[in-house]
Amino acid sequence: MKYSAKILDIADRGVLLNASDARMVGVLEGDRVQIMNHASGLSTPAVVDITTTMIPVGVIGIYGLTNRTLLLVDGTEVEVWEAKKPLALDLIKKKMNHEKLTKDDTRQIIQDIVNDSLSQAELSAYVTACYINGLDMDEVEYLTHAMVESGDRLKFSNHPIVDKHSVGGVPGNKISLLIVPIIAASGLKIPKTSSRAITGAAGTADLMEVLAPVEFSAVEVQQMTEKVGGVIVWGGATNIAPADDKIIVVEYPFKIDARGQMLASVMAKKFAVGADLVVIDIPVGSSTKVPDMAEGRKMAREFIELGERLGIRVECALTYGDSPVGRTIGPNLEVREALAILEGGDEPRSLIQKSLSLAGIALEMSGKAAKGQGYQMAEEILRSGKALRKLRQIIEIQGGDPAVTSESIKPGEFEFVVNAQNTGYIIELNNRALVSLARIAGAPHDHGAGLLLHAKKGEQVNAGDPIFTIYADRDWRLKMAVEEGRRLMPVIVEGMLLDRIPSEYRGQV
């Protein structure tokens, strides 16, 4: 049946039908219709909401995200009919029933995800089934290929192409801001797509956005990389492995860490940008995704095996993940810290060492540096100012201001300093609590929000010394963070207590 489209500015997928029309089409709330724009040939399925007043009979309301596929304007005539059940449903049921998914099964599921043929509930069932029943390495390989095929790809004429990935879970991990310009300055190409924070305080894309726009198409990513050797963009805007972004949304509430899906997601993005050499940073620590070295080595082997199946050389670095990287958490603070190093600063050492180590591995893998000489070469590129110049080129080509300096980037105007209550050693920096605090202060949306750590694990502080400062762009956000900070106690200072316990014990004898 034919309907007149009315575009509704609701940032969701779906359509709104008058109850009487829904009955005519034969659908209930939550059922799916297929919508066809005959003029353009564009067509998509969409889940139905029902109204009796907001949309008159003969009109179909189209939500914003659904119209991204249909490209309708008010009044366009569309055809609407009850949609067929997506083929993926039977295949997801198969996975629920402990069966292995074939290459074709996987491709169908990913296609239905990318086409928005699945509801959030259906997608969640898929993700849950894969999490519980697991994916073997064949299934992971199929999933990687299916994700690559579902989106855009880069095709460089000159190789090798380098890429890096950090498995995540450690706050303040702004190393890409150092590694990408070092690699690009060495003459290699590194088209870095990165993520925004979902549960974290700042993803690499959130950081880069402080310096320049980060939303580009795959073609633009390729062109910019050809010109200046590297970019740092938000992967979500590129249409590279787009299924992954949809999967992450349903994983988010449960913090699901489905190993197979994670491997496929990371490597699909590397494969799609044409990477030949990939360095994977695996932070190991109690609050990261990898609690111990044994688990880290296992994950490294899986990345390497998947890389072999895809024709990508992978090296992994197990890194220290028990404390934040550097002394800052939150967009502006982290960018300022990274820029200061590129400008010649030699603090914090842990951040510099981690960045140079990972960059060095990539330089050795590519043959730019001899075995064992990668770190030193990376350090020379950093110290010579070449990395800073390269980052400025990258900022400029992405549309930012290349004259930016660390001095020009300010944290939020509202701040609160947390002081040590007693003299002692910092015995714990709780990553999760620190991230939570930075988020409550407004990160990553408020660029100025975040934390500056004045003391790190193992350092001694005296009573009254500042331990960390909370920054926020908005007053009420700061207040909330300060309140929450009292409850969370993200930093624990102990000293005298360690002495007192045996004293008391002796007292009782």
* 187 lies in the binding site for a copy of itself (CB under 8 A): no
* 403 lies in the binding site for a copy of itself (CB under 8 A): no
Q: DSSP letters of 190-231?
A: EEEEE---SSSS--HHHHHHHHS-----HHHHHHHHHHHSEE
Is 257 considered catalytic here? yes
Selected range binding a copy of itself among 52-60, 135-143, 305-313, 367-375, rule: CB under 8 A: 52-60
DSSP 3-state percent helix, strand, coil across the chain (nearest 5): 45, 20, 35
Q: Which is nearer to a copy of itself, 95 or 192 (CB)?
A: 95
Q: How far is the CB of 30 from a copy of itself (least distance, A)?
A: 7
Contacts with a copy of itself in 475-494 (CB under 8 A)? Answer: 477
Q: How far is the CB of 138 from a copy of itself (least distance, A)?
A: 20
Q: DSSP letters of 406-464?
A: GGG----SEEEEEEPSSSEEEEEE-HHHHHHHHHHTTTTTSTT-EEEESS-TT-EE-TT
* 249 lies in the binding site for a copy of itself (CB under 8 A): yes
Q: How far is the CB of 12 from a copy of itself (least distance, A)?
A: 5
β-bridge partners, 194: 234
Q: Which residues contact 55 (CB under 8 A, 6 or more apart)?
A: 6, 16, 17, 18, 61
Task: Reduce the secondary structure of 294-345 to three states and give it as a string.
Answer: HHHHHHHHHHHHHHHHHCCEEEEEEEECCCCCCCEECHHHHHHHHHHHHCCC
Selected range binding a copy of itself among 26-34, 156-164, 262-270, 326-334, rule: CB under 8 A: 26-34
Q: How far is the CB of 290 from a copy of itself (least distance, A)?
A: 17
The DSSP bridge pattern shows strands 77-82 and 2-8 to be antiparallel
* 23 lies in the binding site for a copy of itself (CB under 8 A): yes
Give, rounded to a whole angstrom, the gap between the first and last alpha carbons of the chain: 89
Contacts with a copy of itself in 64-93 (CB under 8 A)? Answer: 85, 89, 92-93
Contacts with a copy of itself in 440-469 (CB under 8 A)? Answer: 442, 445
Selected range binding a copy of itself among 119-127, 282-290, 305-313, 463-471, rule: CB under 8 A: 119-127
Q: How far is the CB of 51 from a copy of itself (least distance, A)?
A: 5
**Which residue in 41, 253, 311, 372 binds a copy of itself (CB under 8 A)?**
253
* 42 lies in the binding site for a copy of itself (CB under 8 A): no
Binding residues for AMP: 169, 195-200, 204, 265, 289
**Which residue in 146, 182, 256, 381 binds a copy of itself (CB under 8 A)?**
256
Residue 16 CA to residue 58 CA, distance in Å, equals 11
Q: How far is the CB of 80 from a copy of itself (least distance, A)?
A: 14
Whether 278 and 164 have beta carbons less than 8 Å apart is answered as yes
* 57 lies in the binding site for a copy of itself (CB under 8 A): no
* 120 lies in the binding site for a copy of itself (CB under 8 A): yes
Q: Give the relative orientation of helices 176-185 and 374-383 as an angle to the nearest 10 degrees.
A: 90
Residue 374 CA to residue 367 CA, distance in Å, equals 9
Q: DSSP letters of 105-130?
A: HHHHHHHHHHTT-S-HHHHHHHHHHH
Q: Say which DSSP state 189 is in.
A: B
Q: Say which DSSP state 87 is in.
A: T
**Which residue in 4, 10, 373, 492 binds a copy of itself (CB under 8 A)?**
10
**Which residue in 56, 100, 159, 254 binds a copy of itself (CB under 8 A)?**
254
Residue 123 CA to residue 78 CA, distance in Å, equals 27
Residue 336 CA to residue 326 CA, distance in Å, equals 11
Rounded to the nearest 5 degrees, what angle is found at the Cα of 449, between the Cα atoms of 446 and 453?
160
**Which residue in 12, 74, 104, 136 binds a copy of itself (CB under 8 A)?**
12
Nearest to 298 by CA among 137, 126, 171, 170: 137
* 39 lies in the binding site for a copy of itself (CB under 8 A): no
* 30 lies in the binding site for a copy of itself (CB under 8 A): yes
Classify residue 175 by burial, with Cβ atoms within 10 Å: 0-12, 13-18, 19+.
Answer: buried
Annotated catalytic residue, options 31, 138, 152, 257: 257
Backbone φ, ψ for residue 16 (5° rounding): -120, 120
Strand order in the sheet with 424-429: 460-461, 424-429, 491-495
* Count of chain residues binding a copy of itself (CB under 8 A): 45
**If you compute the radius of gyration of the chain from its CA atoms, what whole number of angstroms results?**
25
Q: Which is nearer to a copy of itself, 93 or 100 (CB)?
A: 93
Q: How far is the CB of 22 from a copy of itself (least distance, A)?
A: 9
Site string for a copy of itself, 199-238 (x = CB under 8 A): ----------------------------------------
Whether 174 and 335 have beta carbons less than 8 Å apart is answered as yes
Q: How far is the CB of 291 from a copy of itself (least distance, A)?
A: 15
Selected range binding a copy of itself among 33-41, 121-129, 360-368, 499-507, rule: CB under 8 A: 121-129
Q: How far is the CB of 313 from a copy of itself (least distance, A)?
A: 34
* 26 lies in the binding site for a copy of itself (CB under 8 A): yes
Selected range binding a copy of itself among 37-45, 130-138, 159-167, 300-308, rule: CB under 8 A: 130-138
**Which residue in 221, 231, 237, 250 binds a copy of itself (CB under 8 A)?**
250
Which residue ranges make up the site for a copy of itself (CB under 8 A)? 8-12, 16, 19, 23, 26, 29-30, 49-54, 85, 89, 92-93, 96, 98, 119-125, 127-129, 131-133, 249-250, 253-256, 442, 445, 477
Active site residues: 257
